[in-house]
Amino acid sequence: MLFAAGCLAFLLGLIHSILGEILIFKRMRDGGIIPTNGGPLLKERHVRILWASWHLVTVFGCGIGAILCWFSISSSEGIVIPSFVVNSVVVAMIAGAALVLVGTKGKHPGWVILITIAILSWIGS
């Protein structure tokens, strides 16, 4: 269960970055890697931090995924998994799912994946 949750966290991060680049940031680029064109509403610095924060979600998701995968391998070798760490992941994923659910009125599927990661992590611990 922990391995599945970890793989799902990796996958979610990867999909999040790819779709963000295609659906959001592609239109905000003026030729560079980092988008800078925020139109009349966003200044360049706001677009840059939005882009960085967007991909920070992927970095953190991959980090959490690595931790969960490592725990799944370690538990099969008899190493005790710190329940505080797994419980922290569960709570963070539930909170993230709630934010996405409420913030998008349930129209963004990310909340389903986040709650699935939370459930798998909880069962696997």
pLDDT in tens, 44-68: 999 999 999 999 999 999 999 999 9
Dihedral (CA of 14, 1, 60, 97) sign: positive
Chain centre to alpha carbon of residue 76: 26
pLDDT in tens, 31-43: 888 999 999 899 9
Dihedral (CA of 84, 60, 74, 97) sign: positive
**Which amino acid, one-letter code, is at 24?**
I
Task: Give kind and range of the element (H or E) at residue 59.
Answer: helix 44-76
Residue 111 near residue 102 (C-beta atoms within 8 A): no
